[in-house]
Structure 1
Amino acid sequence: MGRRILLGVTGGIAAYKSADLVRRLKQQGHEVRVVMTEGAKAFVQPLTFQAVSGHPVRQSLLDPEAEAGMGHIELAKWAELVLVAPASADIMARLAHGLADDLLTTLCLATEAPIALAPAMNQAMWANARTQKNLQALESDPQFRIWGPAEGDQACGDVGPGRMLEPDQLVQQVAAMDDQPLKGIRLVLTAGPTRESLDPVRYITNHSSGRMGFAIAESAARQGADVTLVAGPVSLPTPNGVQRVDVETAEDMQKAVDEALTNGTDWFVATAAVADYRPVTRSESKIKKNKDSAPVIELQQNPDILASVAARKQNRPFTVGFAAETNNVSDYAKDKLKRKNLDMIVANDVSAPDIGFNSDRNAVEVFWEGGSQKYDARSKTELATDLLTLIHKRSRA
């Protein structure tokens, strides 16, 4: 059943995508009406949105053509969802502080409907401490949902987080509001690399970006799961509705996982690329270069977090591992599945171009005792939803 969706369009180059968003929402059976800020009209004309939505675009706070001139109250009562896409840094700041100086901010104060924001801005603006403070204020308000941002190339030439989610991803977010198949599931998830210090300057690590794990955490929370994300050192925003615990070393991650599991967990999904070894000793000062000889670094094994969770005798969660391989991917993954007593393992070839580490796309094959499932290359956001659907099915089986 379709929703009555009020789409707020603010000033930003991503506004051109919002017309396609209207079209896609209508295809899903939603009724869409559009409110534009003055800044948005610098990028897209109101006539465009009127054509795709089938309704006049609202722009004025006190519209003389609206009933009793109170257009913001009418719209606030009509909307079942307010979606602001793109949501600029400016609109986030004004909403975080409760301002009501134009039609869009006023109706956001007047509505009782959920308000979803799809941030879109330059990566430096997104990373700015004031934007992050405003983000935290909005995330703490149960009326607001933060959808995105994505990471990648930006119109200004920068690369980083701040891109608005694509229209099809936003449509999926709207659909997920009515579909929460994971409600009641407690999920503990690890993501990213770990760092093992050699000295105060250098450390051992790997190329994991954490994107796959963060995508799974975001999708799981959107589907109603109670998610604890134990994250190694990555530069990714915390998904909305996710409890995040930041760690650095494998031992830190082991401790955080053990603490997260103490209250009972249904699923444990280990996407983190945990360092297998750490130095036996850590130099308290920077190791100096010696032109006559190279330093010898003695290593010791790190705890096997995944195997320790799978070996639990009591309150053992459904345990899913990840295997990032460069050759004989299927063989190594199936061996790891059996050797570590896992319920499932997700294998991917990180030597393949354009997928895996530091990419927004991935292709995997999932194995369990007596079966397998292959997923061709797709966005990590889409793959995360696919994997959770499979995990849900297998855990119930």
Structure 2
Amino acid sequence: MLEGVNVALGVSGSIAAVKTVELAHELRRQGASVRGVMTASARGIIHPWALEFATEHDVVTEITGRVEHVELCGYDGWADVFLIAPATANTVGKIAGAVDDTPVTTCATTALGAGTPVVIAPAMHEPMYDHPGVLEAIGTVEGWGVEFVDPRIEEGKAKIASEEAIVCDVARAAGDRPLEGDHVVVTSGATSESIDPVRVLTNRSSGRMGRAVARACYARGADVTLVHDGPEVPYAAVEPVESAAEMLEATRDACADGGDHGSADVLVSAAAIGDYTVEGSPEKIRSGQQLTLELEPTPKLIDEIREDHPGLPIVGFKAETSGDDAAMIEEARATLERADLSFVVANDASVMGDERTRALLVHAADAAQYEGTKAGLAAEIAESIVAVRGA
């Protein structure tokens, strides 16, 4: 997600500074190069050597004649983005007032003046976060184009956001945002049909692929709605569903005008929606007896949405078990033509739940093969969506 991105990581004196070593590791796992900048207060919580170990770079602890702030964040500076995590109320207030009395605030002023993207992840006690002056400072800095990663409000504290949330916002800030202003709706994961209050009819999909696509579109600037039976995520508004009928209804609502992000500009139908439903029993079916379930076919979501939105770009997914590329392409093209899709991602069902995948991106005129991580495939899909939107 952050391949080739240089991140200057500013650390201020919140106890959440203890998390920055792992944050630096995660940024690097996502492909970034990281260099640390610390305030004196932060050095009282973690030693600069810890951040030096995590980044494999010297840590800036004071501004010297080398003008480290300009080297990192000035015009043509090293950093593609300046991330402050954690940012205390004190640091946010100083940035809003252009007070430069720490290496972190001096780098922030330099970055803002040079047009280097800035991302801030606040961390403080909740009453401090609710202080009108702090809220005013946040509003002022946001007005300058700075991205704030909202903290988690727990136990009377505004705790630093998750690593995933911070990484996603850094990727979004560092990129070109070709999907900015677009609303992308993504369906993801399995659906389940209730047999009785205990048992369900479902499939093996983990939702990993759909979540990766949603994350990749968010990193490219899109507002994303994720329709799935899964957890809240920091990169999308989640519409929770369980059954195929619920997924269809929620997707219809998400694609229609009048939602939080307006009507959809793209639908990515990555969910493994159950092909059959069953009339569920209101009471638990007792075990030990023979049982026949009468299955009824569920509506095809892409066909239903296509009927509602004739001009909407839709990306389909097609899972097969043949193991034959030619057969997968043939089936994918049949789906593409039937529902007038932008393109179809075809893969073998054996990759369900795995981190890696092998897939074919099938367009009307050609098909491209991909083999690698699902995150990598999601990036390819997002770039294809950019091309569709720009066509």
- Answer yes or no: is the 8 Å Cα contact 1:216–1:384 preserved in 2: yes
Task: Tell me which of 242, 246, 255 is aligned to 1:252.
Answer: 246
Alignment of 1:160-199 (within 5 A): 172-176=171-175, 179-199=176-196
Deviation at 1:310, TM superposition (A): 3.2
Q: Which residue number corresponds to residue 77 of structure 1?
A: 109
**Separation in structure 1 between the aligned mates of residue 316 and residue 100 of structure 2, nearest angstrom:** 59
Q: Which residue number corresponds to residue 357 of structure 1?
A: 352
1:207 has 2:204 as partner: yes
Alignment of 1:41-56 (within 5 A): 41=46, 44-45=49-50, 52-53=57-58, 55-56=60-61
Alignment of 1:2-151 (within 5 A): 5-8=8-11, 10-12=17-19, 14=22, 17=25, 24-25=32-33, 33-35=37-39, 37=42, 41=46, 44-45=49-50, 52-53=57-58, 55-56=60-61, 70-71=101-102, 74-80=106-112, 92=123, 94=125, 97-98=128-129, 114=146, 130=154, 148=164
**Separation in structure 1 between the aligned mates of residue 286 and residue 49 of structure 2, nearest angstrom:** 58
1:270 has 2:269 as partner: yes
**Separation in structure 1 between the aligned mates of residue 324 and residue 284 of structure 2, nearest angstrom:** 38
- Answer yes or no: is the 8 Å Cα contact 2:359–2:369 preserved in 1: yes
Q: Residue 55 of structure 1 aligns to a residue in which SS?
A: coil
Deviation at 1:317, TM superposition (A): 0.8
Q: 1:308 to 1:79 in 2, by over 3 A?
A: same
- Answer yes or no: is the 8 Å Cα contact 1:188–1:228 preserved in 2: yes
Aligned partner letter, 2:18: G
- Answer yes or no: is the 8 Å Cα contact 2:185–2:227 preserved in 1: yes
**Separation in structure 2 between the aligned mates of residue 274 and residue 257 of structure 1, nearest angstrom:** 12
Deviations 1:216-257 (A, max 9, x none): 1122122222322211x22x33233x2221111111111112
**Separation in structure 2 between the aligned mates of residue 14 and residue 362 of structure 1, nearest angstrom:** 27
- Answer yes or no: is the 8 Å Cα contact 2:119–2:173 preserved in 1: no
**Separation in structure 2 between the aligned mates of residue 376 and residue 34 of structure 1, nearest angstrom:** 40
Of stretches 75-84 and 200-209 in structure 1, the one that deviates more from structure 2 is 75-84
How high is the TM-score relative to the length of structure 2?
0.68
Deviation at 1:5, TM superposition (A): 4.0
Q: 1:75 to 1:394 in 2, by over 3 A?
A: closer
Q: 1:18 to 1:368 in 2, by over 3 A?
A: closer
Deviation at 1:189, TM superposition (A): 1.5
Deviation at 1:180, TM superposition (A): 0.9
Q: 1:261 to 1:376 in 2, by over 3 A?
A: same
- Answer yes or no: is the 8 Å Cα contact 1:319–1:343 preserved in 2: yes
- Answer yes or no: is the 8 Å Cα contact 2:126–2:156 preserved in 1: no
- Answer yes or no: is the 8 Å Cα contact 1:118–1:147 preserved in 2: no
1:391 has 2:389 as partner: no
- Answer yes or no: is the 8 Å Cα contact 1:192–1:208 preserved in 2: yes
Deviation at 1:260, TM superposition (A): 2.0
How high is the TM-score relative to the length of structure 1?
0.67
Q: Residue 327 of structure 1 aligns to a residue in which SS?
A: coil
Q: Residue 382 of structure 1 aligns to a residue in which SS?
A: helix
Deviation at 1:300, TM superposition (A): 0.4
Aligned partner letter, 1:7: G
**Separation in structure 2 between the aligned mates of residue 42 and residue 110 of structure 1, nearest angstrom:** 32
**Separation in structure 1 between the aligned mates of residue 213 and residue 127 of structure 2, nearest angstrom:** 27
Deviation at 1:377, TM superposition (A): 1.0
**Separation in structure 2 between the aligned mates of residue 349 and residue 57 of structure 1, nearest angstrom:** 55
Deviation at 1:208, TM superposition (A): 1.5
1:299 has 2:295 as partner: yes
Q: Which residue number corresponds to residue 288 of structure 1?
A: 286
- Answer yes or no: is the 8 Å Cα contact 1:25–1:171 preserved in 2: no
Q: Which residue number corresponds to residue 305 of structure 2?
A: 309
Q: 1:48 to 1:249 in 2, by over 3 A?
A: closer
- Answer yes or no: is the 8 Å Cα contact 2:187–2:271 preserved in 1: yes
Q: 1:369 to 1:40 in 2, by over 3 A?
A: farther
**Separation in structure 1 between the aligned mates of residue 345 and residue 111 of structure 2, nearest angstrom:** 41
**Separation in structure 1 between the aligned mates of residue 304 and residue 129 of structure 2, nearest angstrom:** 48
Q: 1:39 to 1:287 in 2, by over 3 A?
A: farther
Deviations 1:91-146 (A, max 9, x none): 7464795299xxxxxx9899667356599xxxxxx9xx9389957xx8xxxxxx86
Q: Which runs of 5 or more structure 2 residues have no equivalent in the other structure?
A: 64-85, 92-98, 132-136, 258-262
Q: Residue 164 of structure 2 aligns to a residue in which SS?
A: coil
Deviations 1:337-363 (A, max 9, x none): 324333311012232xxxx33333333
Identity %: 24
Task: Tell me which of 203, 213, 216 is aligned to 1:216.
Answer: 213
Q: 1:297 to 1:24 in 2, by over 3 A?
A: closer
**Separation in structure 2 between the aligned mates of residue 69 and residue 373 of structure 1, nearest angstrom:** 51
Deviation at 1:266, TM superposition (A): 2.4
- Answer yes or no: is the 8 Å Cα contact 1:198–1:204 preserved in 2: yes
Q: 1:40 to 1:327 in 2, by over 3 A?
A: farther
- Answer yes or no: is the 8 Å Cα contact 1:6–1:79 preserved in 2: no
C-alpha root-mean-square deviation of aligned residues, in Å? 4.4
Q: Residue 247 of structure 2 aligns to a residue in which SS?
A: helix
**Separation in structure 1 between the aligned mates of residue 26 and residue 291 of structure 2, nearest angstrom:** 57
